[in-house]
């Protein structure tokens, strides 16, 4: 049985630059009250950029929360009020230098709906033109162009272990 939970009260624990944390007290019909820990996030985009040669643009960067360098598609957080498509154009340019003639939304998903409202929009970018990247001062990454077939193999071998990257690549296999 599906039961919706009504918010009785909400305690704001932290308001940050990337996330906020709040604890909601919810009422469950005939079951009383429960606490829900909720991480608020403003949303993000990931860009599956395919070059004229049919290669996919991947980046490698160090991620502090996991203390590890991982493979990812270019991605970034939505700025307040920013349109996801504009964000995708901006982040692709910033991280890889590419501008895209075509930027098409192919999927959106919740990364972890059990504790967070983070939503990621996946765009397919084609008609790429190379240019200068514009990395933020605190952003460090390496850019690679990889054969699509090789990238799929990296998922199967689990060398890719990032949600948005696997979803974007596996979906591309279905639709392009």
> Nearest to residue 89, comparing CAs of 137, 121, 55, 58?
121
Q: Is 170 in the site for its own copies (CB under 8 A)?
A: yes
Select 69 or 130, whichever has its Cβ closest to its own copies: 69
Select 16 or 131, whichever has its Cβ closest to its own copies: 16
Q: Is 132 in the site for its own copies (CB under 8 A)?
A: no
How far is C-alpha 103 from the geometric centre of its chain's CA atoms?
A: 16
115: left (phi over 0), alpha (psi -120 to 50) or beta: alpha
Q: Is 171 in the site for its own copies (CB under 8 A)?
A: yes
11 SS3 class: strand
Select 3 or 53, whichever has its Cβ closest to its own copies: 3
Q: Which of the residues 139, 147, 150, 159 is marked catalytic? A: 139
67 is catalytic: no
Binding residue for its own copies (CB under 8 A) from 54, 83, 110, 150? 110
Task: Put the strands of the sheet holding 32-41 in their side by side order.
Answer: 6-15, 19-28, 32-41
């Amino acid at each position: 049985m599906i039961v919706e939970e009504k918010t009785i009260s909400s305690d704001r624990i932290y308001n940050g630059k990337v996330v906020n944390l709040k604890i909601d007290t919810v009422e469950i019909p005939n079951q009383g009250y429960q606490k829900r820990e909720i991480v608020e996030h403003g949303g993000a985009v990931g860009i599956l950029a395919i070059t004229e040669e049919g290669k996919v643009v991947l980046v490698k960067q160090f991620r502090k929360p996991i203390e590890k360098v991982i493979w990812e598609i270019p991605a970034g957080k939505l700025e307040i009020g920013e349109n996801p498509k504009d964000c995708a154009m901006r982040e692709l340019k910033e991280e890889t230098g590419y501008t895209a003639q075509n930027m098409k939304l192919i999927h959106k998903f919740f990364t972890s709906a059990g504790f967070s409202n983070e939503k990621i929009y996946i765009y397919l970018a084609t008609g790429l033109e190379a240019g200068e990247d514009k990395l933020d001062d605190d952003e460090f990454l390496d850019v690679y162009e990889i054969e699509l077939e090789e990238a799929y193999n990296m998922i199967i071998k689990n060398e890719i272990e990032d949600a948005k990257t696997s979803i974007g690549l596996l979906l591309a296999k279905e639709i392009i």
